[in-house]
Chains A and B, each alone.
Chain A
Amino acid sequence: MTPLIQATNLARIYQVRRGLFAQPKPVRAVDGVSLAVMPGETLGIVGESGSGKSTLGRMLLGIDQLQAGEVRFEGRAMPELRTAEWRALRAKMQLVYQDPLAALDRRLTIASQLAEPLEIHRIIPKDQRPARVAELMVAVGLRQDQAGRFPHELSGGQRQRAVIARALASRPKLLVCDEPVSALDVSIQAQVVNMLRQLQEQNGIAMVFISHDLKVVRNIADRVAVMYLGRIVEEASSDVIFRSPRHPYTQALVSSVPVPGKLLEGRVILQGEPPNPANRPAGCAFHPRCSIARDICRSTAPVLRQIENRRTAACHIVADGAVPVAA
């Protein structure tokens, strides 16, 4: 089966200037990432702040420029940014991000916000639009009487539903969700997560689900990629990766999730801070914080290797003897 979206060796380098007269320094925000998402599948992306998750999400949609690599959607290369083909394709892939207020137009009612993409993409005849708006509201669990409300008249969870409904208007095949529930309270978060899962099951929408909340990701993703400093360090099915993380960073990450009733003792608590992306450590970028690092880790960067069936990791020790994954 052809992946819905396939990314090969993506790289994004920002030139960051620290101070007015300083030489700009390259920050490799995304550094050689390859991934594929099948139709209807959800890929979770987790990792430390600044590891390049959002940048990667934007690159998949073609909003952020690729310095290297390629993105193919339904087997075809991504068209040039802002061309008619690109716009047509964008209807099939939508972005949902953290701040619902910023994503909505505060002067428009919820119904008008949902009708807008229908007009822009000329998806359905004008007379059918109100029905489609109503349908979208039902799909995300908004009440009909909320159609005439303005964004600030809704609660945070309801706003995020409206944003998702808007993203669904053009019947996308892929949603890239960047921290879609992070700003919501747990009880409301659960409502939105359930709704997203329902959408997956009923409409077969594929998702790239970016979040720092591992519990939410485990709940919604089929597969999970763990990023560290611009690279994927481990990827496996969601069940497997949380039950038996292999990469030392994934182990620390999974172990750091506070579970009600579970004591902090016996957990892996990392020493040290996440490194500065502008100053990437030599060898394995994780080695300064890694408890099992050896000499080779300080000098040679590990490549992503297949360590088990449908499971990859980039670690010298974990993947000892495994064959590198062809990019």
Chain B
Amino acid sequence: MGAAKSNLVELRDLKVAFDGVQVLHGIDLTVGRGEALGLVGESGCGKSVTWLAALGLLPGKAGVSGSVRLEGRELCGSPRSTLESVRGGRIAMIFQDPSSSLNPVLRIGRQITEALALHRGLRGDAARTEALRLMDMVGIPDARSRFDLYAHEFSGGQCQRLMIAMALAGEPDLLIADEPTTALDATIQAQILDLLIQLRAETGMATVFISHDLGAVSQVCERVCVMYAGRIVEQGTVEQLFAAPRHPYTRGLFDAIPRIDGPRQPLVPIPGTVPNPKHLPAGCAFSPRCSRVLQSCHTELPPLVPQGDGRLLACARPVPLALVIHAAKPRTPARIVESALQ
């Protein structure tokens, strides 16, 4: 077993409860070195909590159990100092709410040099030079003259770039980007996605990209995890999932996205709403909304099991592969991938 082949981060049976209400029901997830993994699912399904829990960033009232390993070393329950050295150093996270992460009363240059001092021991001119390099790298125009500005003097897209620059200060092995583009304009979103792809190519760091936008995920990631109500329901390569989503929820997500090309048709929504974690349906949590539901789905929880093609799936009656491949309707994801490959 060569160390190079081992996984960078492994989550095992990660569970989280708030005030006795369980919101994460045992997440198993691995991130390989240099890999780009996407985490998708609707609001409240536990995407952020998964990584906040893994990094020990949840408030004290949160009950966390399970295992989080970084290169085999257990982080869950380890002392604060260990977690603090991992955060920002080995693993950096860009948070969903950008305004909460940049300090409004500290000049931007100072914030980045402080991160450099903390994680890499750089001081003085060396820190300043490196901070300017990072600002350049994330595409802040004329970094030198903007070094001493405050966060509010930058645009939303630039603040997001600055957060990425801060995250890069510790030369992390893994960057967790939680909805890094959601609050941004479409054209700026495209810039940031482009930046994330380019940074990964240049630095070789692994990326976890959290988003509810399947389109954005498919651009940045190689592997995708679909979550529903605190569980992973399907996992596979981007090609697999986009060519043939097999969990009825994954399939429903694809069908619900309006198309930017092709004929205009009524959208295909998923009926019903996301369940309240306090009153999770018995059996498969998706069963009340599922178009392929079986009687047994209401009582038996389908386990997440490997399929012949290597993907993981938790469903008693998945969308048949053949059905997806032969579907001639223009709005099937299979066709979307096809046309993209032309």
Is A259 part of the binding interface, using a Cβ–Cβ cutoff of 8 Å?
A: yes
Tell me which residues from 189 to 233 in chain B have a Cβ below 8 Å from any Cβ of chain A: 189-191, 193-194, 197, 212-216, 218-219
How near does chain B come to A214, taking the closest CB pair, in angstroms?
6
Instruction: Decide if the interface of chain B is mainly helix, strand, loop or mixed.
Output: helix
Which of B216, B218, B267 is the one whose CB lies under 8 Å from A219? Answer: B267
Which of A49, A254, A255, A263 is within 8 Å of B185, CB to CB?
Answer: A49
Q: Judge if B242 is at the interface, Cβ distance under 8 Å.
A: yes
A242 adjacent to B261 (CB under 8 Å): yes
CA distance A21 to B269 in the complex (A): 52
Is A190 located at the chain interface by the 8 A CB criterion? yes
B269 touches A190 (CB 8 A): yes
Q: Known: A189-B256, A219-B264, A270-B187. Is A258-B269 also a contact (CB below 8 A)?
A: no
- Could you tell me which residues of chain B, from 153 to 169, have a CB within 8 Å of some CB in chain A? 155-158
Query: By the criterion CB–CB under 8 Å, are B269 and A216 in contact?
Result: no
A260 touches B254 (CB 8 A): yes
A165 CB, min distance to chain B CBs, angstroms: 17
A252 surroundings in chain B (CB, below 8 A): 187
Chain B 252-288, CB-CB to A under 8 Å as 1, else 0, gives: 1110111111001011111101100000000000000
When distances are taken between beta carbons in the complex, the residues of chain B under 8 Å from A269 are 187, 190-191, 194
Of A131-139, A167-175, A180-188, the one with at least 4 CB within 8 A of chain B: A180-188
Q: Which of B187, B188, B256, B258 has the largest count of A CB atoms less than 10 A from its CB? A: B187
Contacts of A218 in B (CB 8 A): 258-260, 264
The interface stretch among A69-77, A191-199, A291-299 is A191-199
Given the contacts A194-B266, A269-B191, A188 and B273 also touching, CB distance less than 8 Å:
yes
The answer to whether A253 has its CB under 8 Å from any CB of chain B is yes
Residues from chain A with Cβ under 8 Å of B191 in the complex: 269-270
What total of chain A residues lie within 8 Å of the partner, measured CB to CB?
A: 44
A212 touches B186 (CB 8 A): yes
Which residue of B has the minimal Cβ distance to A257?
B260
Question: Is there contact, CB below 8 Å, between B264 and A186?
Answer: no
B43 contacts chain A at the CB level, 8 A cutoff: yes
Distance of B221 from chain A, by nearest CB (Å): 12
Contact A260/B260 with A273-B157, A273-B188 known, Cβ cut-off 8 Å: no
Which one of B243, B254, B267 lies within 8 Å of A194 (CB-CB)?
Answer: B267
Query: Which residue on B lies nearest to A276, using beta carbons?
Result: B155
For A259, list chain B residues within 8 Å (CB).
Answer: 215, 260-261, 336, 340
Q: In the complex, which residues 268-308 of chain A have their Cβ closer than 8 Å to any Cβ of chain B?
A: 269-270, 272-274
B171 contacts the other chain (CB 8 A): no
From residue B185, how far is it (CB to closest CB) to chain A in Å? 5
**What residues on B are CB-neighbors of A274 within 8 Å?**
155, 185, 187-188
B141 at the interface (CB under 8 A from A): yes
Q: Which residues of A contact B190 (CB under 8 A)?
A: 255-256, 258, 264, 267, 269-270
How far apart are A235's CB and chain B's nearest CB, in angstroms?
A: 18
Residue of B nearest to A272 (CB): B141
Q: Does A239 interact with chain B (Cβ within 8 Å)? A: yes
B28, CB-defined interface residue at 8 Å: no
Decide if B194 touches A264 in the complex (CB within 8 Å): yes
* B145 → A minimal CB distance (Å): 15
Q: Does A122 reach chain B (CB closer than 8 Å)?
A: no
* Residue from A157, A186, A188, A212 having most chain B Cβ neighbours under 10 A: A186
CB-nearest residue of chain B to A51: B185
A158 touching B273 by the CB < 8 A rule? yes
Known: A157-B273, A197-B266, A273-B158. A257 touches B215 (CB 8 A): yes
B215 x A273 contact (CB < 8 A):
no
Q: A158 to B271, alpha carbons, bound, how many Å?
A: 12
With A194-B267, A274-B155 as given contacts, are A260 and B258 in contact (CB-CB < 8 Å)? no
Asked whether B267 lies within 8 Å of A190 as measured between CB atoms, the reply is yes
Question: What are 18 sample pairs from A and B whose C-beta atoms fall under 8 A apart?
Answer: A186-B42, A186-B212, A187-B253, A187-B256, A193-B258, A218-B260, A238-B264, A257-B260, A259-B336, A260-B218, A260-B257, A260-B336, A261-B242, A262-B215, A262-B340, A269-B187, A273-B157, A274-B185
Q: Contacts A186-B257, A242-B261, A261-B333 given; 4 further ones with Cβ under 8 A?
A: A191-B269, A194-B266, A212-B186, A261-B218
Closest 3 CB pairs of A and B: A258-B215, A190-B269, A256-B190
